[in-house]
Amino acid sequence: MKPEALAALHAFCAAVPLALVRRLADYLRSEAVGVSAESCRSRFGLGCEAFFAFRRLTAFFAAPAELATALEIGAFFLEQARSRTSSLVWSGPACVLQPVRTTEQVLLDIIEDAQKEILLVSFAAYRVPTLLHALREALRRGVCVRFVLETAKDSEGQLRHNAASAFAQLRGAFFYHWPSDRRPRNRAGHPAKMHAKCAANETSFLITSANLTGDGINGNMELGILHHDPEKAALLLAQFDQLISSGELRQ
């Protein structure tokens, strides 16, 4: 494989979830003709960065089966690279850390890789199409999707819009909040903020400074750490289970 093709393969595989790389490879292997970057974008909900990376990649392969093989190779090496216990996650200006993945890419990975449950916790949230698409697919797979989000009422003006509004169209998801009557208050009388930000499935979790907004996961300078650790992921999920069962968080 030419160096230019290898670079394009790495760029695409780094821009999308591992499960999506494999689904694309399966799809391409089943199609002899008629496959284009545009058709794959529509079928798999590729975001702008992933779409342009995929379109560049397709220029190096004459047949869908050849591209499928390349994607399978890319998925294998990507899985090896991600087998480390933890890795830094960065969004914002160009970073000297290599390899490094953006907040959006890691969030999509956590959603795509979930087999049983997904937990998303954020202070603010606005509609992010790539996340909505991935979460809809997770719900169709039978994954339990839960959110813990801030509300305008509970924050008593510290947040202007209910964060849950960004995901209201996700039928079957569960939404929880931290009621103001359960919160301590500071000296000025303001309630504590629901300021935690994380995402978890049954095997991995991301602790991040980023809110679930377009700016938060793509534009702002944000830093997080991704852990591949089923035991710690279970502990994190259990923490929120306990807060829900005790009534500290309410649906």
In order of their start, the domains of the chain are 3-79 (no CATH), 86-245 (3.30.870.10)
pLDDT in tens, 88-100: 888 888 766 556 7
Reported as type and span, the H/E element at residue 117 is strand 117-122
pLDDT at 62: 79
> Would you tell me the crossing angle of helices 48-58 and 3-15 to the nearest 10 degrees?
160
Round to whole Å and give the CA distance between 206 and 228.
9
Residue 147 dihedral angles phi and psi, to the nearest 5°: -120, 145
pLDDT band at 205 (very low <50, low <70, confident <90, very high): very high
pLDDT band at 81 (very low <50, low <70, confident <90, very high): low
pLDDT at 66: 86
pLDDT at 108: 94
- For 85, the token pair is 């216990």
Round to whole Å and give the CA distance between 62 and 73.
17
pLDDT band at 200 (very low <50, low <70, confident <90, very high): very high
Please provide the average confidence, as pLDDT, over all residues in the chain: 87
pLDDT in tens, 7-45: 888 888 877 887 888 888 888 888 655 667 787 887 888
pLDDT at 97: 57
